[in-house]
Amino acid sequence: MNRITQLFKEKKNNILSIYYTAGYPGLGDTVAIAEALQKAGADMLEIGFPYSDPVADGPVIQATSKQALDNGMDLNLLFEQLKELRKNVTIPVLLMGYVNPVLQYGVENFCKACAAVGIDGCIVPDLPMVEYEEFYKDAFLENGLSNIFLVTPQTSVERIHKIDGLSNGFIYLLSASATTGKNLEVSDTTTTYFSRIAEMNLNNPTLIGFGINSKETFNKACKYANGGIIGTAFVKALHAGYLEENISEFMKEFTS
C-alpha cells in the first residue's frame, strides 16, 4: 500500500497537504523544506516541478516557477535532489506539474524516477483523462504511483464517477474553477457543490484545494472533505534564509 492510501486509512479528517515549488526560493531548498514541513505537522506534500507556461496558476505560483527555472531547476536535478528525500521524510509526497516536461523526460522514465526516490503520486493538471488511460496509466501503476485528478464545481456527476473509478489515492476538489491563488469564498453554491460531492459516497477520499489561506478556510474545507491543500499562501510565506522559522510560524496556525 502506498503512503497516500496509508495516510487516508489512518487519518480521516483534518488532513493538511502543502504545495511548494521545487528550487524556490533557493535551488537547493527542496528537501530541506520537505523536512521542515513534516516536522511542523504537514500530513502530505506536493512538490511542484516548474514549467515556463503554467496556465492553471495565478501570479504567485507563476513567480515561484519562474524563479525556480531561473535558479536552474529541472527534472533531472529534482530527481537528483530527491535522492535525499526518504532519509528523513516519511509522509506521502507527490509531484505536481505540467505534462510537457514529463513528456520530454519520457513517461516511463519519469514514473521510474519517481518510484526510485520514493514519490507516491502525481498531479498533472493538463494531462487529460483519456490520455492518462491510454498512455500513462500502466506506467503509473507499475511504479506504485497514484494519479490525482481535479474536480471543479462544473464537473458533471457522470464525469466525477468516471474520475473516481480511475483514481487511486484521493480526488482533488477545486473550491472554484479558478487559477491558483484566488481566495476561497464559501458561498451557497460552493457549499451545495461540496455537499453534493460528499453525498456521492465516492470510493476515494477528497481534499479541497485552491484558495485556502487561513485556519478558518481550512476548517471549512475539513467540514466537507478529508482535509485541505495549501499552496499559494504557503509559498508566499517563504523567504530565503529563514525557511525553518517561516515554516514553523506558518504551520502553527493550522496545527494548533
Catalog residues that contact other proteins under the rule CB under 8 A. Answer: 51-58, 62, 66, 69, 74-76, 98-105, 125-128, 130-131, 149-152, 154-156, 159, 174, 177-179, 182
**Minimum distance from residue 100 beta carbon to other proteins (Å):** 4
Give min distance, CB of 219 to other proteins, in A.
Answer: 25
Q: How many Å apart are CA 62 and CA 95, to the nearest integer?
A: 17
CB of 129 to other proteins, least distance (A): 9
Nearer to other proteins (CB atom), residue 41 or residue 58:
58
Cβ atoms of 51 and 98 within 8 Å: the answer is yes
Quick one: 163 or 243, whose CB is closer to other proteins? 163
Q: Which of 106, 58, 39, 2 is nearest to 209 (CA)?
A: 58
131 is catalytic: no
Tell me the β-bridge partners of 21.
Answer: 48
Active site residue 46: yes
Which member of 10, 29, 35, 46 is catalytic?
A: 46
Catalytically annotated residue among 29, 43, 57, 164: 57
Nearest CB to other proteins, comparing residues 156 and 256: 156
- For 187, the grid coordinates are 458561498
CB-nearer residue toward other proteins: 47 or 89:
47
Beta bridge pairs of residue 45: 18, 93
CA atoms of 183 and 16, how far apart (whole Å): 17
End-to-end CA distance of the chain: 30
Strand partners, 147: 122
Residues acting as catalytic residues: 46, 57
